[in-house]
Structure 1
Amino acid sequence: MAAAMQMLAVCCAAVRGPVAVGSAARRAGARMTTVTTAGAPVSTAHLGAALRAQFPALHQTVYDGRPLVYLDSAATSHKPLAVIEAVREFYERDNSNVHRGAHALSIRATNAYEAARDKLAAFVNAASRREIVFTRGATEAINLVAATWGEMNVRAGDEIVISEIDHHANIVPWQLLAQRAGATVRYARYDASTGGMDAEHMISLIGPRTKLVAFAHVSNVLGSIAPVHRLVAAARAAGAAVLIDGCQSVPHMPVDVQALGADFYVASGHKMCGPTGIGFLWGRLDVLETMPPYQSGGEMIDQVTLEGSTFASPPGRFEAGTPAIAQAVGLGAAVDYLAGLGMANVEAHEHDLARYLVERLSAVDGLALYGPPRGEARAALAAFSVAGVHANDLSTFIDQDGVAIRAGHHCTQPLHAALGISASARASLYVYSTRADVDALVESIVSTQRLFAQLGG
């Protein structure tokens, strides 16, 4: 017990002080890394257990005192105390509108809001803080690009290349844009042999008429990781722009937007320990400067006269009205938290969990697992079906054991059609997750299987 408490203290300290990545993290294919704070190493295999004290929502019971086992982090993550306290402190002390007030509260609020932009810019290695546009989330960020850059650049006869495995938020905006412009949307297919998008098929679809290539960095159902550099290179060779959905990558691995080479990158704050209602669009500054406003009103203007208006430079041009100030402050605190842990350490911890998740689920009789067959090739989430038990029933029954997963089509109906199923169950893990969580999931699945077998389906 004393050793466990010491490990907890060391790991929790990681969010407040420098973190060094152990040498194992620098070796390709390493299965374990260390977090070093105050000279004490802690294996990232134990990171989840050590950090749980920082997440108050995880310490509750449901249904007759059963401990909560939260495995729905791909839908939304829980929030550490540092984020909760940052939002509360803003409302208790600094609550004011930003940018135009000259009083102390407005100055503090403005400084905190813009500091969050600086933190995000550093977190994804943007070339300039002006490349970070705050949005309500990734969905709004994609719609912003479709309604501004898309309306300017996509014309009749042009093509937009996306994938059938993507989230609806990275499909529907492009369908609507294509309808308005008279363009065509082409879809890269699911590859059953790899359990991910067929990258070769996507590359074959990219041609002289392609104006945009858009895809998820990590699939929210399959957990597959896209070969970003190959796809970006193919788009660049055709003169096409690239948008990447980073909702399942930014919270879980180091992301360097400059190194990836895309034009746009989007993510949602609530999946990376931040509040709901906030996310961001990263765009290359030279591209953002060519784009018209997304919405009009206050904050996004330069000059307004009765004869007409001029608009602010990015990012202000795309942030009309009073922004989500407290949410941005909370997102800034979440970035501080994750940066303190070190994203290489987060990634190593989750790769360990992914391997264990795949290993345990693969051993369950009658369970069909979707996505890459090896844990090393996927993120720490897994969608699956259990023979004789509908995904919705499975989710409902294991919820009675305190195990929270998601069931349905996960906003990926085209992918589920390709898989030949209407719904799947999905377990998704995060930095606070443990192998014990996976064990509880498998135990509950097996128990539910037995119950349905006794009931004859």
Structure 2
Amino acid sequence: MLDINKVRADFPILSRTVNGKPLVYFDNGATSQKPQIVIDAIAKYYQEINANIHRGVHTLSQLATDAYEISRSKIQNHINAKFAHEVIFTSGTTHGINAVANGFASILKPGDEVLVSALEHHSNIVPWQMLCEKTGATLKVIPMDDNGELIMEEYDKLLSNNTKIVTVNHISNALGTVNPVKYMIDKAHEFGAAILIDGAQAVPHLKPDVQALDCDFYVFSGHKMCGPTGVGILYGKEAWLNKLPPYQGGGEMIKEVTFEKTTYADLPHKFEAGTPDIAGGIVLGTAVDYMNSIGFDNIQKQELELLEYATKQLLEIEGLKIYGTAKEKTSVVSFNIEGIHPYDIGTIVDKLGIAVRTGHHCAQPIMNFFNIPGTIRASFSFYNTKEEIDVMVEAVKKAQMMLS
């Protein structure tokens, strides 16, 4: 069981006020807050071991390299990758997706097909559109229903021997839908297709086991799981990472360079050109340790209670509609009030100290499906409380009264 007061004390920002009101932070789908142990670890790196990695024989460089590689091993264990060199440090989920899409440009040809889902964030749509434009491959969309669930019967029909890669999020950022990714992975493999899972919204809520899933690629960002911004992970099966060309050229990712020919370094360095966000990579390991100390069973229990409570309380507001009613869902409530623009609600509740997200959430195809301009999205983390939900509900009621 979580001691919620003890957990909240780990996050210094939760004690601040906004517009003279105690902060209620319900924008965790955009980024999570950071515990003091993570904040301290960033300072500790710069104060004690700041040096470039993998290149120096001096003591600080060796200390920094060791800390960076220890973090890689922590993340390997966290996601249950078979090898540490299957864990590639990136700048975030978007970087990881682009690295894979760029690599597939050397594989795809006209007539090949790429499947994306209707539930994707723009970052898992645009790189694949660019890939198809470059290669002549065709982009096909796995449709969704009114509950915000992917239609598996249609997915099965779309798969064919022409399918070369399927890309789908583990959890929808806009609706909170948990997709049946294990089923999708197994079905894709029946046709010899690779599959990439966008885990950006999943890793704050669960521990992905990439070997049990059997996914070919899994990507996520650190900043949504209590880590720093600017760092993320691309997991790829060793065989695929060896097959794909590097995404960027430069220092660190080379074995030997002459003006006639360059040979690339072994994994993981082949995909890690240039000086990385060293502090971010090290501190991502700290964030993983912290979340494991809380326990993902505890996290899921707390967040499910918050989701159920918020859903019940919000639905008591006349004219309020929730978008995304999937059977399997995480702690996101995306809603509108009839006749009121979501931006107007968001602006008023902000004046009352409540941070929610308004707009299309970088998921315009979802909003187009529902024929709406956007939603108000309240996304909860394990450090949030039912009392905060009560404050939000009262603020939404006040905004409704002011705007009606």
TM-score exceeds 0.5: yes
**1:61 maps to 2:61:** no
Deviation at 1:311?
A: 0.6
Q: Is the aligned partner of 1:335 residue 2:310?
A: no
Q: Distance in 1 between matches of 2:235 and 2:207?
A: 15
Contact 2:177 2:326 in 1 (8 A): no
Structure 2 unaligned regions, length at least 5: none
Partners in 2 of 1:396 and 1:294 — Cα distance?
Answer: 41
1:93 pairs with 2:48: yes
* Contact map agreement 1:162 1:214 (CA 8 A) in 2: yes
Determine if the alignment matches structure 1 residue 450 to structure 2 residue 404: no
**1:235 equivalent in alignment to 2:191:** no
Decide which of 350, 360, 377 is 1:426's aligned counterpart.
Answer: 377
Identity %: 44
Distance change (3 Å), C-alpha of 1:366 and 1:373 = farther
Which residue does 1:124 correspond to in 2? 79
Amino acid at match of 1:313: D
- Structure 2 distance, partners of 1:314, 1:330, is 22
What residue in structure 2 maps to residue 323 of structure 1?
276
1:357 is matched with which residue?
Answer: 310
- 1:48 Cα deviation from its structure 2 partner: 3.9
1:103 aligns with 2:78: no
Distance (Å, rounded) in 1 between the aligned partners of 2:334 and 2:237: 34
- SS of the residue corresponding to residue 115 of structure 2 reads strand
Q: Distance in 2 between matches of 1:418 and 1:48?
A: 38
Deviations 1:168-212 (A, max 9, x none): 0000100110011101111111211x3322222222211111001
Q: Which amino acid in 2 is paired with 1:437?
A: E
Note the C-alpha offset of 1:103: 1.0
AA in 2 matched with 1:419: F
Please say if 1:438 is aligned against 2:389. Answer: yes
**Count of matched residue positions in the alignment of Structure 1 and Structure 2:** 404
Rounded to whole Å, the distance in 1 between the matches of 2:109 and 2:265 is 27
- 8 Å contact kept, 2:11–2:35: yes
- 2:110 maps to what in 1? 156
* Partner in structure 2 of residue 30 of structure 1: none
Pick from 293, 296, 301 the counterpart of residue 246 of structure 2: 293
State whether residues 49 and 433 of structure 1, in contact with CA within 8 Å, keep that contact through their aligned partners in structure 2.
no
- Map 1:33-48; keep pairs closer than 5 Å: 43-44=1-2, 47-48=3-4
* Contact 1:385–1:391 (Cα < 8 Å) also in 2: yes
What is aligned with 1:34?
A: none
**Alignment correspondent of 1:414:** 365
Query: What is the CA deviation profile of residues 119-139 of structure 1, one whole-angstrom value per residue up to 9, with x for unaligned ones?
Result: 111111111111100000000
What's the CA shift string for 1:314-348, capped at 9, x where partnerless?
11000000011011111111011011112222122
Which residue number corresponds to residue 402 of structure 1? 353
- C-alpha distance in 1, partners of 2:148/2:116? 17
Aligned alpha-carbon RMSD (Å): 1.1
Q: Which aligned pairs between 1:238-387 and structure 2 lie closer than 5 A?
A: 238-372=191-325, 377-387=328-338
Inter-partner Cα distance in structure 1 for 2:209 and 2:302: 19
The one-letter code sitting in structure 2 at the alignment partner of 1:50 is: K
Unaligned runs of 5+ in 1: 1-42
CA 1:404–1:295: 2 relative to 1, 3 Å:
same
Q: Give the aligned partner of residue 93 of structure 2.
A: 138
Q: Which moved more, 1:431-440 or 1:81-90?
A: 431-440
Q: Is the 8 A contact 1:407 1:426 kept in 2?
A: yes
Aligned to 1:178: 132
Query: Structure 2 CA distance, aligned partners of 1:270 and 1:125?
Result: 20
Q: For each residue in 1:250-276, what CA deviation from the matched residue of structure 2 results, as whole angstroms up to 9, or x when unmatched?
A: 111121011111100000100010000
- Give the whole-Å Cα distance in 1 for the aligned partners of 2:326 and 2:171: 15
Distance in 2, Cα, partners of 1:147 & 1:388? 43
Contact 1:388 1:452 in 2 (8 A): no
What are the Cα deviations for residues 33-88 of structure 1, in whole angstroms up to 9, with x where unaligned? xxxxxxxxxx34xx54431100011110111x210000000000010011001110
Match of 1:78 in 2: 33
